[in-house]
Amino acid sequence: MGFTKYTSQKEQVRVRMNDGIRAREVRVIGPEGENFGVMQTKDAVAKAGELGLDLIEISPNAVPPVAKITDYGKFKYEQKKKEKDAKSKSHVTETKVTQVKIGTSERDMHIKASKVAIWLREGHRAKIDLFLWGRYKYMEFNFLKERLERFLALIPESYKIADEIRKSPKGLSVVVEHDGGAKGASSAAKTEKKPKVAGQPATPLTTQEEQRLDQ
């Protein structure tokens, strides 16, 4: 019950509990959310001990401070869960962009596909541009679409189409997002899964390759 030899000093300073609570009296909340009212701290600690639980200060700045009778392990788990949820909500989603060309080598296609997979796992969308120049701008749309779909098939991560393949100022473009991604995703998003990739999967990026992608 309470701190153990494995409890870090940082945690002990941050969380006041049991005899570590400095206030002479506290407003006590029971393990099931009951309001026990204001009690002498020593009496509240004794009551928590009778229940085999801890008295943990949860609102130190209140007058008097608010303390809850609960299990320290459960309290710690709930705090970590709240911190994780808050961090998740504060995550900013971006639309990352990568570009491929008709003549992009197979090796570079795999490298760029691996980079897109990293973005998707981080919760971002990815916009893939098929850059066209010269005579390539006048080639049949279905042929160019097939070239872009060939790149999509190399992405080693589950995704869905957020914005269908269409003509863009640079040539053709498509936007993908992680399959089962964040709530509030575009209502136009489809549940189409990426086709299976033939051959070996994309290899991990080297430092030099990542630098080349960011140029």
Output the six-digit token pair for 190.
């489809």
For residue 86, pLDDT over 80 is answered with no
What is the share, in percent, of the chain residues with pLDDT greater than 90?
52
- C-alpha closest to that of 164 among 145, 150, 144: 145
> What is the value of pTM for the model shown?
0.44
What is the four-CA torsion angle of 161, 163, 169, 170, rounded to 10 degrees? Answer: -10
Question: Can you list the domains of the chain with their CATH numbers?
Answer: 9-75 (3.10.20.80), 95-214 (3.30.110.10)
Task: Provide φ and ψ at 111, rounded to 5°.
Answer: -65, -50
Query: Which pLDDT score, from 0 to 100, does residue 9 have?
Result: 46
3, with CB counted inside 10 A (0-12, 13-18, 19+), is middle
Distance separating alpha carbons of residues 102 and 135, to the nearest angstrom: 11
Paired tokens of 214: 């960011």
What mean pLDDT, rounded, does the chain reach? 79
Q: Based on the number of CB atoms within 10 Å of its own CB, is 134 exposed (0-12), middle (13-18) or buried (19 or more)?
A: exposed
Q: pLDDT at position 135, please?
A: 86
